[in-house]
């Protein structure tokens, strides 16, 4: 399983190019690193800048170092032209170059008119790709962009995304569930400088929280004095003492789905634990300030 995957998203010049925006958004929401690779024809449909903005990357980033180090290449939409080039090993743009340089799984989501899809040349190309282990998702039957009904419509981004997650060793089995994990060692102050604590690092709880998040759960991590950074994308509630941990756990067990409180933060993919701690103590209210003051007092062993 890959914790933060580097995913190359190839976009080619089909009418479904706009759907790649949603696909990129889904990967980013899951905290994966996305590198958009856009053919010149795709730019006739959606500007490359849109994909870069959604992927939170600068268009001036050099994509070449990523071509050989990615965990997954997904091409959506894949035109008949690009399917043919992939089948025959052509390499005349970033997408086709990536397909030759990349050694991991490749997902191709074709999108074309039913006539193009059913053409023997396209079908032969598709068979070549399948024979080489390339995963094809779709195309589906439906109304295509040109108003024709038949097989050729690109699968929905959610379907392509789900297949990609499977290939990355992730799944959506906890989607719609809320998971609460407690982690770390609480410290009970004896006086201003001493405390009773334990040696828990919080590593196991953090691993459990990360795994639940990967499987699509909404995760709250009630954390006491973690020795390891919390995972990205979880709601972090810092509770230095056992009493406060119990309070927070009770409060969250009865809370409606999706709500967060002022005493928690959601961990972004790029924020370090120390930055998070700084942000929390400066943004919390009176209770938070007295908590951090007490933590300052009780942090050092005698």
Binding site for ligand FMN (CB under 6 A): 12-15, 39, 41-42, 79-82, 93, 111-112, 116, 145
**Complex with ligand FMN: residue 100 or 227, whichever CB lies closer:** 100
CB of 136 to ligand FMN, least distance (A): 14
What is the 8-class DSSP label of residue 40?
T
CB of 134 to ligand FMN, least distance (A): 16
What is the 8-class DSSP label of residue 18?
G
CB of 212 to ligand FMN, least distance (A): 38
Active-site pick, 81, 93, 125, 198: 198
Confirm whether 198 is a catalytic residue.
yes
271-296 b/e (C-beta count within 10 Å ≥ 16 → b): beeeebbeebbeebeeebeebbebbe
Which of these, 111, 100, 89, 88, lies nearest to 41 by C-alpha position? Answer: 111
CB of 283 to ligand FMN, least distance (A): 46
Assess contact for 78 and 68: CB atoms under 8 A. Answer: no
CA atoms within 13 A on the CB side of 72: 29
Assess contact for 140 and 151: CB atoms under 8 A. Answer: yes
Show the tokens assigned to 13: 């010049």
What is the 8-class DSSP label of residue 255?
S
List the catalytic residues.
198
């Amino acid at each position: 399983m890959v914790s933060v995957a580097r995913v190359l998203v190839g976009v080619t010049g089909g009418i479904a190019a706009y759907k790649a925006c949603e696909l990129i958004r889904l990967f980013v929401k899951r905290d994966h690193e996305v590198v958009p690779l856009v053919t010149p024809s795709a730019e006739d449909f959606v500007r490359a800048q849109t994909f870069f903005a959604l992927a939170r990357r600068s268009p001036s980033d050099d994509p070449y170092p990523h071509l050989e180090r990615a965990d997954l290449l997904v091409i959506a939409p894949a035109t008949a032209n690009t399917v043919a080039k992939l089948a025959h090993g052509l390499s005349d743009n970033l997408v086709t170059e990536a397909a030759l340089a990349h050694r991991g799984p490749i997902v191709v989501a074709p999108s074309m008119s039913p006539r193009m899809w059913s053409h023997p040349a396209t079908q032969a190309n598709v068979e070549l790709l399948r024979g080489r282990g390339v995963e094809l998702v779709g195309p589906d039957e439906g109304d295509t962009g040109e108003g024709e009904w038949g097989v050729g419509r690109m699968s929905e981004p959610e379907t392509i995304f789900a297949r990609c997650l499977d290939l990355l060793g992730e799944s959506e089995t906890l989607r719609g569930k809320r998971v609460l994990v407690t982690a770390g060692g609480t410290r009970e102050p004896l006086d201003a400088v001493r405390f009773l604590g334990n040696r828990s690092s919080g590593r196991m709880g953090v691993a459990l929280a990360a795994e639940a998040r990967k499987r699509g759960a909404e995760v709250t991590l009630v954390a006491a004095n973690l020795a390891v950074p919390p995972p990205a994308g979880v709601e972090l509630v810092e509770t230095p003492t056992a009493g406060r941990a119990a309070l927070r756990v009770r409060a969250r067990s009865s809370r409606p789905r999706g709500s967060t409180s002022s005493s928690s933060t959601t961990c972004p993919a790029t924020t370090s634990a120390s930055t998070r701690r700084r942000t929390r103590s400066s943004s919390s209210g009176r209770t938070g300030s007295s908590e951090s003051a007490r933590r300052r007092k009780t942090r050092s062993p005698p």
